[in-house]
Each structure stands twice: as structure tokens, then as C-alpha cells.
Amino acid sequence: MAGKGAPPKPIKRRTWNFPVKRQRFVEEYIKDFNATQAALRAGYSKASAYSTGAALLMDPVVSQKIQDALTERSKRCQIDADRVVLELAAIAFSDVSGLAEWNGQKVVLKDSQGLSPEVTKAIQSLDSSRGNVSVKLHDKLRALELLMRHLGILDPRRVGDASELLELVRTIQESRARLEGGCEESSTD
């Protein structure tokens, strides 16, 4: 026993390596962000996977390891928030007139070599079966919604005039309706 005036005994801290099973949980969790499935794939029992997954997410060490893994993946893939926002913006603000020309009777696709990167980013798929060319665009409304959430525009605490947004939605719906009927391939004369 230490007497008066004697220095306190140093506290022995437990040092241990991060358990393999927990590391496996981290690796599995960042695949789909499903804690229960990650716990199962990491080898935890089916009976306790739900509660184990939840408990592991609450563990500060595991939480930090997840953040570190996500940061590393982001660096490795060269993906950051700015790049994601720019991609969403390309979809949300794409102009269908950059893809096709139309009048009351005919829709003609523009030559793909002349399309801007912003226009091609908005294209989800092309189909040329049944003698027609069909173009499916990414969902502009969903891209707008995601951008508005990111910018806080859809925050229920903010109240504003929705008329501009409603007009934008109508314009998008009209453009999409014109294209969903299918397009004829442009011919070079």
C-alpha cells in the first residue's frame, strides 16, 4: 500500500488488438449498411445478429473503424460529396433539347458525338428494338429531391413559395412524356 506522499501507481490500461470478427463486421457493414446482415456475414449467430449489429454500431471503436473504412474507400474510388452533387445536378438540370429535336409530329435524336457530357449523364438507357429508338432518362424529380434535401430546401422548418418548384415539375413531366413515346433515329442526308 502506498503511503502518504508516495506517487500513485500507474493505471494499467488494457491493450488489445481489434478483434478479427469486429473487423469483418466493419468490412461487411460498409458494403450495404445493413448491420444485421453484416453481423451474419461476419460470423455472429443468427439469433443475435440484430442486437449484435446494433451494439457494434454503438461501439465507439467500431464506429471509428467504419468511418475510417468509408474515408479510405472514398479516397480509393476518388468519390467525394462534391462529385456526387455534381452528378445529381447534371441529372436534375439536364435539358432534353440537348438530346433531341421535335415538332408536333416527329422526334429526332441528335448525333451522339455532339452530345455534351451533362446530357449523356442524364441518360439511363437506350433501346433500339422494334424499329424505334427509346431513350430513358434518369429520374429528374428524384435528383432534384436529393439535391433539395442536401441543400436543406426540403427542411419542414423552412416555409416558402412552392410555385417555382411546381412549374419546374410540370416542365420536366411534359418533356419526359414527349420522349417516353419513343424517338426516331435521326438520319443524315
Q: What is residue 46's predicted lDDT score, i.e. its pLDDT?
A: 95
Tell me how far the alpha carbon of residue 159 is from its chain's centroid.
Answer: 26
The closest alpha carbon to 115, from 107, 123, 127, belongs to 123
Domains assigned to the chain: 20-77 (1.10.10.1400), 84-180 (no CATH)
Q: What is residue 37's predicted lDDT score, i.e. its pLDDT?
A: 95
Positions in the chain short of pLDDT 70: 1-17, 155-169, 171-172, 175-189
Q: What is residue 186's predicted lDDT score, i.e. its pLDDT?
A: 40
12: burial class by Cβ within 10 Å (0-12, 13-18, 19+)?
Answer: exposed
- The dihedrals phi and psi of 108, each to the nearest 5 degrees, come to -125, 125
Which residues have CB under 8 Å from 24's CB, separation 6+? 41, 42, 43
Q: What is residue 181's predicted lDDT score, i.e. its pLDDT?
A: 58
- The dihedrals phi and psi of 140, each to the nearest 5 degrees, come to -65, -40
End-to-end CA distance of the chain: give it in Å, rounded. 101
Q: How far apart are CA 170 and CA 149, in angstroms?
A: 20
Single pTM value for the model: 0.51
**For 132-184, how does the pLDDT look when each residue is reduced to its tens digit (9 = 90+)?**
888 899 999 999 888 888 777 776 665 555 666 666 667 667 766 666 654 44
The closest alpha carbon to 65, from 43, 47, 42, 40, belongs to 42
Cell digits of residue 80: 467525394
